[in-house]
Structure 1
């Protein structure tokens, strides 16, 4: 039998802690000496060791008491362990999120020197916007997007200025010159989001709900609303041919590939290359491959996309593939089909 002081020395606990465990009925000594001192039997020590182990695993005293007592302790223990595991998983997820946010701030601190005496350093600006950003994106997503934004910033700024100039000139949303810029805006957004349309829509929704995040990128809310109206017209035209599920399946990150294809098509048009030449057949094969990739190999979606861009004049504004190029593709395809006997 151990006195409370001896047990305290063996376990590294304080006498006060052991007294508290006794008072709440968690570890009660089996006996007391004639002088009234607490005496702990080996079974009491083993129980105390269980309490210490569970405390090290993060359990609270109330849960420990439930786990070590009751008519069905094994069943209770299982439920408490599962609950504790869920809490630990949540804490780990939160810790990972905090770590990503700290990494994001550390990444942004590096921009301070490039700020060149700005009124407020980039990381302080980001710190103020972090709650708004975090409501829509994980820190990992945000770090990737903001890093990408820094890489593409030089291409974005002239585009923003051109859109703002048209807004001040009161150019309507369906005007060809604004629609061309809307296509460029969408292409840049896809580059920013690595072709992830769902991510781009989330980014646009964040700017709409928290305009200060757009200002952080140098976009005035009025400019954002203006280009948003133009983009909405393009999306409405597209959705006359594809439904919402099909739209989300599209690979929207192929702008550079379409531009490369358009350069080749324009060259064939200027050179007057015949539609039955190897060059023409390669052009058709590249067209079909790009369209299939855009539609994620969905044949029905390929047809719908081709029909949308062929029949909606608004979608043709700003797209690298001109009506003349589409007509060329059709002529090559007809020339490639076997004639009927």
Structure 2
């Protein structure tokens, strides 16, 4: 008997292999779900009702054989619902005869972009995140970073689609009201900066809720800024929203309220960004950090959400944070204690967690 045979616990080994099978199935499901999102298959099933692969091909103009395999894979993952075989079919249980549809929950999650549970953005940005794997392999040898702007184009739209539902559900109803005196200022008319604004979803939501205030969104990624400008115009708020191509350290100006939405941990110089915000915030104003849920100890991270966030941090957040000087490399699991320490280092006298959801911590920083 070998040493390996003596030390391997067969039951534990079986559980590990089962976990790998589960994870491998999940890994192939997300890009295939993205494929369905791109092709409008979830939307078609939601709007047109259940269909066989043949019927769905007729409705979409797509190839039946590919649709048959996609429907089977999605049903096995629980992303579409098997509705039984076509009546009168010779082999009613076969994939060729099978009919599939969406449950109300599947419709909500995959086709309603305004729902707090909309997850199609995750299909897009998490699939995009894996595109850097070759460069990330080399980075383990060199220590080099991978800038946010170097991610696959799907990352930018996917990230906005991923975060926007949470902002719609919480930003103006819970997070801003939890800050000291900020909602009153915004209602009366305030000057607001959205740092790292991306495609502008957070800026536009605030502008729609607080029409007396003016907003400036800044982001160093020009293609995102251009899209943000177009989306502000489409939303009818371009008269009070301005988007600029600029880095966080170039904020300047004087603002009653400054917000960072899910971006501080990605920055190579988070303290520099916070110092710029400290210099730009008006007397009595606040800085809000919306950050992914994070914890201060390793045991706290060992849960399903921690698993997702730590993996995303390695693929996206950490490489971004190492992509320029001083290469702080926070990652998204800096934890509340470290985040408050950064605020103090940047000159804020008060830093606290003002609100939280299952997925985010919302910090209020005051001079």
TM-score (norm 2): 0.26
Structure with higher helix content? 1
Could you say which structure has the larger radius of gyration?
A: 1
TM-score (norm 1): 0.27
Structure with higher strand content? 2
